[in-house]
Structure 1
Amino acid sequence: MRLKDTVIIGMLGALLVAVQVGLAFLPNIELVSLLILVFTRIFGKKTLYIISIFILLEGFLFGFGIWWMNYLYVWFILYFLASFFGRKEDTVLKTALLSGFYGLSFGALCTIPYFFFINYHSTQSGFQNALAYWISGIPFDITHGIGNFVLALFLYRPLMFTLKHLVTSYYAN
């Protein structure tokens, strides 16, 4: 890997953290999903490194709790979805739908670790814990899905244009 690649990957991973922290005051409104979609379309497999940096920085900043276990797979799932659905025609609506669906399903994806934890203070199984966790978060998932859809609808094209321009102007040389 070239030094330029390493620097860009590190900067974009840090950008994901900065964008997430910067928008933390808005409940479940985030740009990380959209940026991962854009990075996947422009950088391809290098996005896996960007996501890894992002996850590692999140753990260092906020701790390595159960929420962090979710990050070990949820962002990679988005990368693989973007890779699979972005192969053919790349449209704003298709990207917005993918981003919205991902936001809507984020809570369901995050329930996976809860299947393996048993609540010793009650008689609930891991399945019951996961189901309760997911159901309690549905209003947030709806907000997340709508926010992702709207942000992608309005920002996908400008972000793609800007990043492609930066890549061809500075990164390609």
Structure 2
Amino acid sequence: MLISIAVIGRVYMNFIPNVQPLTTIIIITAVLMGRTNGMILAAISIIVSNMYLGVGTWTFSQIVSFSLIALIAGSFYRLKDKKHFIYLLAVISGLAGYFHGFIMSIFNYIIFGNFWAYYFAGLPFDTYHAVGNIVITLILYQPIRSTFKIAKI
């Protein structure tokens, strides 16, 4: 279910550059269900959504980037029951937008060269990604967490 929501959200929000629920859903899944589930969701969501959006050299780097985000987010598993955890998660989601752009720039450097050109050119899009992640986290965290509690996950 989460994979289909992530894919649909990524495909249908494509008209807003880099604003997508995929990153937030990966982070929430990694926090609530563990790193492995977050990484699985990341890999499958990227592969399926790129079938619609276009597969290329960036697909592997996206899988790596979002898997690393799931690994990092899963580290906050023990804090998930804290009172104001949603705000920490929103900050983590915002930073994940910039982290994703950094990893993508590294892969572009490996393939094409000139790291700084890719990094600085991508900063406005990374900012869209970061702000979108914060807003989407504040919107989606409670409904997804409640759904997991009802399903006893």
| Structure 1 length-normalised TM | 0.75
Amino acid at match of 1:113: F
User: Radius of gyration: which is bigger?
Assistant: 1
> Are 2:107 and 1:107 aligned?
no
> Are 2:9 and 1:19 aligned?
yes
- Deviation at 1:75? 0.9
Report the equivalent of 2:73: 82
What stretches of structure 2 of length at least 5 have no aligned partner? Answer: none
- Deviation at 1:68? 0.8
| 1:89 to 1:55, Cα distance in 2 relative to 1, 3 A | closer
Q: Conserved in 1, the CA contact under 8 Å of 2:19 and 2:132?
A: yes
| Structure 2 length-normalised TM | 0.84
- Deviation at 1:150? 2.0
For residues 79-135 of structure 1, the C-alpha deviation after alignment (integer angstroms, 9 at most, x for no partner) is 1111112333450011000000111232111012222234xxxxxxx2x2x210110
Q: Of the candidates 126, 145, 151, which is equivalent to residue 160 of structure 1?
A: 145
Report the equivalent of 2:116: 131
What stretches of structure 1 of length at least 5 have no aligned partner? Answer: 1-10, 119-125
> Are 2:49 and 1:64 aligned?
no
Secondary structure of 2:14's counterpart equals coil
Q: d(CA) in 1 for partners of 2:27 and 2:33?
A: 10
Report the equivalent of 2:87: 93
- Tell me how large the CA RMSD over aligned residues is: 2.0
Q: d(CA) in 2 for partners of 1:38 and 1:117?
A: 31
Moved more, 47-56 or 104-113: 47-56
Q: d(CA) in 2 for partners of 1:62 and 1:147?
A: 19
Report the equivalent of 1:38: 28
For residues 42-97 of structure 1, the C-alpha deviation after alignment (integer angstroms, 9 at most, x for no partner) is 32223332222213213433443122122120110111111112333450011000
